Amino acid sequence: MKQPEIADPKPPTYKNRPRVGVFVCHCGINIAGVVKIPELMERVTKWGDVAVVKDYKYTCSDPGQQMIRDAIKADRLDRIVVACCSPTLHETTFRNACAEAGLNPYLCEIANIREQCSWVTEDRDKATDKATEIVRTVLAKACADQPLESITVPINKRALVIGAGIAGIQSALDIANAGYEVVLVEKEPSIGGHMAQLSETFPTLDCSQCILTPRTVETGRHPKIKLLTYSEVESVSGYVGNFKVKIRQKARYVDFDACTGCGLCMEKCPGRAESSFERGMAKRKAIYRLLPQAVPNRPVIDAQSCMYLLKGKCGVCAKICPTQAIRYDDKDKFVEEEVGAIVMSTGYELFDAAGLGAYGVGTVPDVIDGLAFERLLSASGPTSGEVKRPSDGKTPKKVVFVQCAGSRDSTQGMPYCSKICCMYTAKQAILYRHRVHDGEATVCYIDVRTPGKGFEEFYRRATDDGIQYLRGKVSKIFRQGDKVVVWASDTLAGRKVELEADLVVLATAVVANPDGVALARKLKTQLDTHGFMTEAHPKLRPVETLTAGFFLAGCGQGPKDIPETVAQASAAAAKVLAMFGSTKLTHSPTVAVVDEDICVGCGNCERTCAYDAVKVDEQRGIAVVNAALCEGCGACAMSCPSGAMNHKNFTKKAIFDMADQF
Amino acid sequence: MKYVYYPGCTLYTKARNLDACARKAAARVGFELTEMPSWNCCGAIYNTTTDDLAAQVGSVRNLAKASQLGEKLVTLCAACHNVLKRVDDRLHAQGNEVERDRLIAFVDEKFEHRVQVMHYLEVLKNDIGFDKVKEKVTKPLAGLKVASYYGCLMVRPREVLQFDDPENPQVMDDLMAALGAVPTPFDFKAECCGGYLVVNRRDVARTASKRILDNARARGAEAIVTTCPLCQYNVDKLRPGGDGAMPVFYFTQLLGLAVGLPVEELGFEYNAFDPKPFLAQKGLA
Amino acid sequence: MHIPSGLSLVREIEELSGQVVADCYQCGCCTSGCPVGEQMDPPPSKAIRLLQLNKAAELLASDGIWMCASCLVCGTRCPRAVDYARIAEACRALILRTRQSKVDPDTVTAPELEEIPQQAFIASFRKFSV
């Protein structure tokens, strides 16, 4: 390996020799313990263009920044290189310091001699040599830098919230109550999400509808919320602060304004279809609403099960509707909304347990999942809250609850823990015992996870009630006569256990709503390997995405319970309101720039760009960069065959200058 | 279509009548089984310890011999199939080149190329096609409610056998349907009968096999069909069901019956529960 | 052949079986699904626990490892892809390699020999005899 030439670096060729200040940070002993700082400074001082070299123990501190500000003024510096930690940490800090001292912040560069140097070796000499090389390279860049001004974009202070479960509802209300307009889009005919399907919620055993309906009603009535139900987002174009959203309003076949929600049509409709709301526990009519407390209280016709729409027969609903609100000729409509911020709250689904072949789902009728059991428990459910098993409608006297059905399973399911199941299973077992006083409940578990407030006490309540907790993951579920047999084990006693049940409830894994996954792909927001939306930083930025202007809330980002969902939704709203609180948005100016004299409009850059930030103007025959959308990744500059595309402060010349320093 | 055929020790001796009707049925359906000469015992069970090469030698020799004779090696016995396929998989696994070279060099038969190890059922499903099989059926097994019992060796380990869904396999059920029977789903299709534990722990094998029989009966089956001579023994001859037994057929017997082989050639002497009266009562023989 | 002791015995079993006992989070699914789980002592998950607790000698002395039929349901359904059948086989191999048999071929009676498919004998002796 060629050793770096330290004594005589090639000086960059500039007309006006810059006056660069180099500040070397010790970072305690992080850098100083490995890099020999006095030696580094001695080498740097000898270079042309370097007007002053200083060091400091913690340069990011106030005195450290003051040192930089003072030096800029005293030594008439027009470029700064700070040799310290990664720019992701303090580039903004030092650029702000420059700006305060009157120096353009984009003339300040960071030489990372910590993560890229002192943290990856113990050899002091090698570290010092490498640090020298890094500083010299960044010095070349600093000399090539031009002063830049931040780009400002206007903000349209309207928000879009996609998905109106409890997360979307909370975000929408928070933003609307702050005085801004919100467009709330929901793909189902009414709002409330999965929370509307629940009977009671843990750990308080509040009736789910009772705590949800005040929110849904407020949402439906809110003057600042434009509620678009039975609608889906088709496309989003534009950039943060200036989004154009195309929304498809699906044909309801019912005139929204003429309909009064009286429900006569639903009484008489002969059509039947599997009700997704009832999770396979019941059928619904072809003209239907999801639940009696639906907001908005307007039914829709499902064209796949309506005899009139399919075959031209029946038409009963149109005949008896007192306000003639049925519109068989309805079509999907498209609306365009302009918004400045988007909150994605598309929610979750339950893992399809048919994938767990040994559990008998689909073949044994009395094996159901948690949401289906919730419908059996629910007072507005298909059995009016009486627990009856699907096969014969009898009241089950023995119910076995199977935890981790598809969770914590790297081979057949999801490797992660779904977080809410231990709690909702305890709840369901307690509620079952409330309804069936002589019923026996057994919970087969691996661990019982009770991290929230009141959760451990709630679990104690379940065991105090005589609910049997058996530690052992279930291997097989099958039928024997009219019983369901469960092969489980008691690992604490160290033996296999065979249980006979009347009904088995599987706590299946929580997965990302597939419609939400498809939407994220369409909108090019980030998803993790399981389809959950990815936050900008797992610890410190849990409600933002890496796409500016898109925020996250709810189970679409990962499994969580209602209090966490509501907290996250309000947090997302707060981020939106913070954005709306400023008059304009600033955007980094290190963006792509086209040399219009050279560009021939070949379109390579347009095809390469992941942000839709550069397009070829057909009339002028050259590429045009939308600086507000450009994220400065440099891909277009690399793909440009003629060299017309360059990158502000990352010009080809700057890069060659930097490379020359090796 | 011709296939290199490996009968295995049990089918060659004690279950030779199952083998005989298998060959004849194959001929009727449209393929030929050519027994490979001087084959040896495959090992009867796959040895899983990471360091035991000696246990694989028998199978490697068979695979080498077969490679001199054709592309596809067909077995009838689920155990032989399991061993041969797993040895073949291990032989050609990435990272096992040193082991493979040693084994191939050790056996006295020249290893020409990798053969495809197939089970007779896979030939019927993939190469012949069940609709073709259906065409050859002259005596459909109408009204025969039969539970297809696959046993563990046919379907596990999943990645190697790649036979069907190990929890709810369908291949043999589909064959039964093609033969005109009524495949009865049940919950113990691929659960273990006790296998070789019958040698020194008959009671354990009996308990495991009884479960299978009980469940099949509870789900409405009146007969069981198997693909492994040991499963056949455990569920049939061992009499786990006591008086509540039911006929346990080997799948080639039902295949032979359906494609018109005479009843005497179906090897019913091998069955402990004599199925002839049962079949007569169903109008099938 | 010498059987190692202590932690090196556990490592030896891991090496022979190709399994890592630390992967097991003791969910018990293997025990739940084992066809002979009621009779096996210790059952699969407890057996692995003994290895995790460095009590391999206790496992080698047990009857349970000689009860495994190699049906592979345990490994197929394990959420961590741990194959107990292979672990049991490794344990048995260590004992068999000291020339101790569990099943004596001489105890097979003539009627059994006549009746039982030879595949069963060969398999049984391969797993349990030397």
The amino acid at residue C26 is: Q
Task: Tell me which chain C residue has its CA closest to the CA of residue A487.
Answer: C32
Tokens of C42: 């210790």
The answer to whether A163 and A183 are in contact (CB under 8 A) is no
> Hey, are the CB atoms on A481 and B188 less than 8 Å from each other?
no
At A64-114, the pLDDT tens digits run: 999 999 999 999 999 999 999 999 999 999 999 999 999 999 999 999 999
Query: CB of B40 within 8 Å of any CB in chain C?
Result: no
- Count the residues in chain C: 130
Domain extents for chain C? 6-99, 102-130
| Cβ neighbours around C10 below 10 Å, total | 22
Q: Where are the beta strands (DSSP E) in chain B?
A: 2-6, 32-35, 72-75, 116-119, 145-148, 182-183, 223-226, 248-250
Q: Residue B35's beta-bridge partner residues?
A: B5
CA distances (Å), origin C89, targets B58, B153, B161? 20, 17, 20
At A549-594, the pLDDT tens digits run: 999 999 999 999 999 999 999 999 999 999 999 988 888 899 999 9
Neighbours of chain A (3+ CB pairs under 8 A): B, C
The answer to whether A171 and A345 are in contact (CB under 8 A) is yes
Confidence of residue B243 (pLDDT cuts 50, 70, 90): low
Q: How far apart are CA B258 and CA A224, in angstroms?
A: 74
At B156-188, the pLDDT tens digits run: 999 999 999 999 999 999 999 999 999 999 999
Comparing C-alpha atoms, which of A499, A474, A403, A405 is closest to residue C28? Answer: A474
At B35-47, the pLDDT tens digits run: 999 999 999 999 9
Residues 6+ apart with CB under 8 A from A267: none
Residue A6: what pLDDT?
43
Residue A239: what pLDDT?
87
Comparing C-alpha atoms, which of B29, B4, B28, B6 is closest to residue B19? Answer: B6
Give exposure, A407-430, as e/b (b: 16+ Cβ within 10 Å).
bbbeebbbebbbbbbbbbbbbbbb
Architecture of domain B138-281: 3-Layer(aba) Sandwich (3.40)
Residue A584: what pLDDT?
83
Tokens of B264: 């005497």
CA distances (Å), origin C129, targets B47, B49, B194, B204, C102? 13, 15, 18, 19, 6
Q: Where are the beta strands (DSSP E) in A138-261?
A: 151-154, 158-162, 181-185, 200-201, 206-207, 225-228, 231-239, 242-249
Residue B239: what pLDDT?
75
Task: Tell me which chain C residue has its CA closest to the CA of residue B197.
Answer: C69
Q: How far apart are CA A662 and CA A136, in angstroms?
A: 9
* Residues on C contacting A at a C-beta cutoff of 8 Å: 25-34, 37-38, 42-43, 45-46, 73, 77-81
Q: Mean pLDDT over all residues of chain A?
A: 94
Chain B and chain C share a number of CB contacts under 8 A equal to 131
Q: Mean pLDDT over all residues of chain B?
A: 93
The sign one gets for the Cα dihedral B227, B229, B234, B236 is positive
Of C25, C27, C32, the CB nearest to A487: C32
The fraction of chain C above a pLDDT of 90, given in percent, is 81
Question: Residue range A397-425: average pLDDT?
Answer: 97
From chain C residues 62-81, the ones with a CB under 8 A of any chain B CB are 67, 69-73, 75-76
Of C71, C89, C119, the CB nearest to B229: C119
What is the domain class of C6-99 according to CATH?
mainly alpha
Residue located via tokens 């019992």 = B149
Residues 6+ apart with CB under 8 A from A35: A113, A117, A118, A124, A127, A128, A131
**Higher per-residue pLDDT: B270 or A6:** B270
Q: Check whether A9 has a pLDDT greater than 70.
A: no
Domain extents for chain B? 2-120, 138-281
Residue A662: what pLDDT?
75
The answer to whether B4 and B116 are in contact (CB under 8 A) is no
Q: How far apart are CA A461 and CA A433, in angstroms?
A: 12
At A110-145, the pLDDT tens digits run: 999 999 999 999 999 999 999 999 999 999 999 999
The amino acid at residue B274 is: D
For A249-398, where are the alpha helices, taking DSSP H only?
Answer: 264-268, 307-311, 316-320, 370-377
Q: How far apart are CA B76 and CA B119, in angstroms?
A: 6
The fraction of chain B above a pLDDT of 70, given in percent, is 99
Q: Check whether B108 has a pLDDT greater than 50.
A: yes
* B interface test, pick of C15, C66, C119 with most B CB neighbours within 10 Å: C119
CA distances (Å), origin A19, targets A75, A648, B177? 8, 21, 88
Of A411, A476, A496, the CB nearest to C79: A411
Query: CB of B200 within 8 Å of any CB in chain C?
Result: yes
CA distances (Å), origin A444, targets A73, B92, B271? 71, 41, 42
Residues 6+ apart with CB under 8 A from A11: A47, A48, A49
Tokens of B96: 């096992």
pTM: 0.88
Q: How far apart are CA A572 and CA A159, in angstroms?
A: 11
At A173-230, the pLDDT tens digits run: 999 999 999 999 999 999 999 999 999 999 999 999 999 999 999 999 999 999 999 9
Tokens of A597: 């004299």
Tokens of B110: 């020249």
Tokens of C39: 């009779």
| Cβ neighbours around B23 below 10 Å, total | 17
Question: Residue range A501-520: average pLDDT?
Answer: 97
Comparing C-alpha atoms, which of C88, C61, C58 is closest to residue C72? Answer: C88
Confidence of residue A431 (pLDDT cuts 50, 70, 90): very high
Task: Quickly name the fold that domain B2-120 has.
Answer: Glutathione S-transferase Yfyf (Class Pi); Chain A, domain 2 (1.20.1050)
Cis peptide upstream of residue A203 (ω within 30 degrees of 0): yes
Cis peptide upstream of residue C42 (ω within 30 degrees of 0): yes
Q: Check whether C5 has a pLDDT greater than 90.
A: no
> Hey, are the CB atoms on C36 and B47 less than 8 Å from each other?
no
* C interface test, pick of A496, A498, A499, A508 with most C CB neighbours within 10 Å: A496
The sign one gets for the Cα dihedral A321, A232, A207, A424 is positive
Residue A17: what pLDDT?
80
Residues 6+ apart with CB under 8 A from C53: none
Residue B269: what pLDDT?
85
DSSP letter at A364 equals S
> Hey, are the CB atoms on A488 and C28 less than 8 Å from each other?
yes
Comparing C-alpha atoms, which of C90, C17, C19, C5 is closest to residue C54? Answer: C5
The answer to whether A200 and A207 are in contact (CB under 8 A) is yes
| Residue A511, SS3 per DSSP | strand
Taking contacts as CB-CB distances below 8 angstroms, the residues of chain C near B201 are 67
| Cβ neighbours around A58 below 10 Å, total | 14
Neighbours of chain C (3+ CB pairs under 8 A): A, B
Q: How far apart are CA A547 and CA A646, in angstroms?
A: 23
